[in-house]
Structure 1
Amino acid sequence: MSDRDNIFENALLRLDRAAQFAKIDAEALSRLRHPKSVVNVSIPVRMDDGSLRIFEGYRVRHDDTRGPTKGGIRFHPQVHLGEVKALAFWMTCKCAVASIPFGGSKGGVIVNPKELSRMELERLSRGFVQQLADFIGPDTDIPAPDVYTNSMIMGWMMDEYSTIQLHDYGLDDGRVFHDP
């Protein structure tokens, strides 16, 4: 097991310790040990110099028992799947403790955003959402800003998601072609 996997394993150890003191149903405990879904994506981005770079990203939906999942997206060169899984788990816990009707999720892209131009960062942000469009949404999984993502990046992501959703319904020039 790598150090990167240890982050999630450490979260599960804390869950096990807490379960000793709280009356947690065995089935609920079993469900909490496993994320509902883990999505790994490759995001092709055309760089300003014309080259193509592929970035790796993740989205983990930990648990949606209490409602749609929610959690931040981080852009950082040290992002890894174990960290994202652990943070999604902790978001589930935070929402439950605060009695917020959401489950936990988290996402990340392995990138140093400080090394990208504004246009490259926009293409990466939109590309990430293109890869995740079938897995996120207001009734499913609600992304939010986190490390090195901000309102500008979230705006690009929301715009891209909205564009994809309009295409899914066949909206073109104000005429709806989709027959619900």
Structure 2
Amino acid sequence: MLIVYRFLLAVLDMTENNVAEIENWQHFSLNQLSLLYGFSRDTIQKRIEEQGINPAGIKRTHKVYHGGEVARAVFQPFGKYHGSKNPDDMEPKDRKDWYQGESERLKIAQQLEQLVDVNDVRTTMADIVRPALQLLQILPDILERDFNVPIDAIMAIEKRIDALRNEWAEQLEEL
């Protein structure tokens, strides 16, 4: 409702007769745009310059701009990188601030135990895998002794267990 009120105020103030010319009803001065959008003249001027918006004309020695073009410039994310979260697209100051913020975020996440050190993960995973691996190591002996499994089957089982052990070791190293 407030934006409609501001729009009406800006449109009514466009000419000396307080009536807008039909072909220029969307053209506003910096003061009118400031009143319409609720931003300071300086902010609107900065956004207009940043986006390279050209004046739509001149009214009573003042430049006037198309309201829709200025609205897109005023209400889009501020800065040259337009809200990108990729630090490579940011200005140096913004990039520095982003990295400092990320560093602080990671410290807090680690303090809250939302992040775990990779060495702790490796140790925990090794502790989980170790008992299973020990059982697999003695499985061929149990199969041979208690179930009289033929030696060629035992050899195939040992070969698969060795491959599995190597695969687990490689996966733990990759963590």
TM-score normalised by the shorter chain: which range applies? under 0.3
TM-score between the two structures when normalised by the length of structure 2: 0.24
* Structure with the bigger percentage of strand: 1
| TM-score normalized with structure 1 length | 0.24
Q: Could you say which structure has the greater relative contact order, defined with CA pairs below 8 angstroms and 6 or more residues apart? A: 1
